[in-house]
Amino acid sequence: MRTSTVLLASVCVLAGCHQQPPTKPRPAVRVEVVTSGLSAGGKVVYSAVAEPKTTTTLAFRGPGYVERILIVPSATGGSREVGEGDRVRRGNVLANLREAEYRDQVDQAIGEVAAARAATQKAQLEFERTTRLFATQSVTKPEMETATAQRDATEAQLAAAQAALEEARVALRDTALVSPVDGDVLKKNVELGAYMGPGTPVFIVGDVTSIKVVIGLPDVALRSVSLGQPVTVTTDALPGRTFSAPVSRIAAAADPVTRNFDVEVEIPNHDLLWRPGMIASVELHSVSPQAAIPVLPLTAFIWAPGDRFAVMVVEGEGSEERAKMRQVELGDVAGNHVAVLRGLNPGERVITTGASIVADGELIEVLPMEVP
């Protein structure tokens, strides 16, 4: 046994047998060459979804079965029920509930009003009679108080019955679902004969004579936006068309989730070219001149010691490429890019994918740039 052990040790020595740690693979990263993206009169493009100027959800006040739906001309020359995409006018009755139950409630309320009125008249006559007798001391004071209370009670009952009658009449009128605006039917949630509960959305009507697009801006970008500022809006759905519109609203407070401020742009749409749901590109122009400065995507930035922002710059060439941490000073946010005021020069390579997984001075593998 001793001979075998010595022999095995000798073989290991001759073969250079020793344990070596496996070579650690270099982190693979993607880089971007620093460019000058913000300049005097520069522009930033944001994407947003076109929405109607106003949107109104229509619902029945009470429950019931749908008895009628508005009939409109069809493209084939016939007629059909109103549907999504159809234009409706203010005052159009879009649908009706069955009225029989509501008419019964009105008739019942009318009967209760008649009974309450008769009781009131009787109590009034009794009150007048008791008043005359009380003046001659023919009835006691408690009897006079009873007659007065009876009169007041029947008057209150008559007022309640009349209110119930008016409520029943309003409910009957509300079996007709009337469009309060001119607009397009964006959503239809009803069919003939369907039972609709109170408050259930039946139609959604949108005013598309103007279209609004809402973009979210971070606080550092608000300084370059003002009410009435003209912007340029385009959409791939209308190639070759450019629309100019003003900033119509700037939110007073940031969204609690995104921390962005809503900025609304209203686009006139009298020719109805724009439709809700189209993707709009909103081009904002900087209103304050500034020197050309580098910009980088948000993914390029990491935290440096001292709670400072930094980036990883690529130094060296070929097999000697290393990541070197460089502290930077940030400027305005432009879309998903951030201006770098100090710390970088155009032409330098900065890690934009993988910056958080490499260490300062670590050898890296730079992947080829993606072809757009």
Domains and CATH numbers, the chain: 28-40+292-366 (2.40.420.20), 43-51+210-285 (2.40.30.170), 58-97+181-204 (2.40.50.100), 100-173 (1.10.287.470)
Contact 48, 280 (CB under 8 A): yes
Distance CA 3, CA 5 (A): 5
Single out the residue of 369, 257, 363 nearest to residue 315, CA to CA: 363
Q: What is the largest CA-CA distance in the chain?
A: 146
Q: What pLDDT, on the 0 to 100 scale, is given for residue 132?
A: 93
- Stretches in the chain below the pLDDT threshold 50: 1-16, 38-41, 287-291, 371-372
Place of tokens 């008769």: 118
Single out the residue of 172, 201, 174, 199 nearest to residue 185, CA to CA: 201
Find the radius of gyration of the CA atoms of the chain. 39
Q: What pLDDT, on the 0 to 100 scale, is given for residue 318?
A: 84
